[in-house]
Amino acid sequence: MKKLSLDYISREPNQITENTPLLILLHGYGSNEEDLFSFATELPEELIIISARAPQNLGFGSYSWYTINFTADAGKFSDIPEAISARDLISSFIDEIQNEYKITPEKTFLLGFSQGTILSYAVALNYPEKVQKIIALSGYVNPELLPSDLTLKDYSKLDFFISHGTVDQVIPVEWANKSPQFLNQLKIKNSYQEYPVGHGVAPQNFFDFKKWIEERI
């Protein structure tokens, strides 16, 4: 693990050129960089895979990108200033990784799960020039993390794979299935899938986004 803006673990192909694709993984709340990295052995060998660790240490190997506050009436809300800080930290980290490996945005994939997906949307929609292919698993678009004027950005190169469990008990599927409509209004290319699971990644979901990646590298 090297120290840049974020700690991370990596898997590199035997040969790296300017055409090598890069996949950056952003885990969910309370998890760590090992979680999504378990996908690495099943993904195309030519990928550089970088799995980042969120900056907030919750203890016992758990980390978060920003605080989620739970209220007495069983509600919960996100700390938006922390989320914005995390969004921009991830953006800087993407720059650092791209510079280290000499990889272009056209060859960069960003995969998030849950809180990592919320931030993947935020990074892509604030910095579409940095990352163009996004796998958004079990998350949603939080408007509070987006630019105030979405018409000022060039989203023509963005491409999203979105998926969600139909019985997700953490983030309701109704939150997720608003995302395609939102992206369609911005004329952003996207694919949306639902799977009969809770807050997790079903085997078919994995095979589908793996195929999606393979078609784009």
Radius of gyration of the chain (CA): 16
Number of C-beta neighbours around residue 170 at 10 A: 14
For the segment 50-79, the average pLDDT, to the nearest whole number, is 85
Ordered by where they begin, the domains of the chain are 8-214 (3.40.50.1820)
Summarize pLDDT for 4-56 with one digit per residue, the tens. Answer: 899 999 999 999 998 999 999 999 999 999 999 999 999 999 999 999 999 99
pTM of the model: 0.95
Instruction: Name the H helices within the chain.
Output: 33-37, 80-101, 115-126, 173-176, 179-185, 203-214
pLDDT digits (tens, 9 = 90+) for 134-165: 999 999 999 999 999 999 999 999 999 999 99
Token pair of 209, please? 């986004």
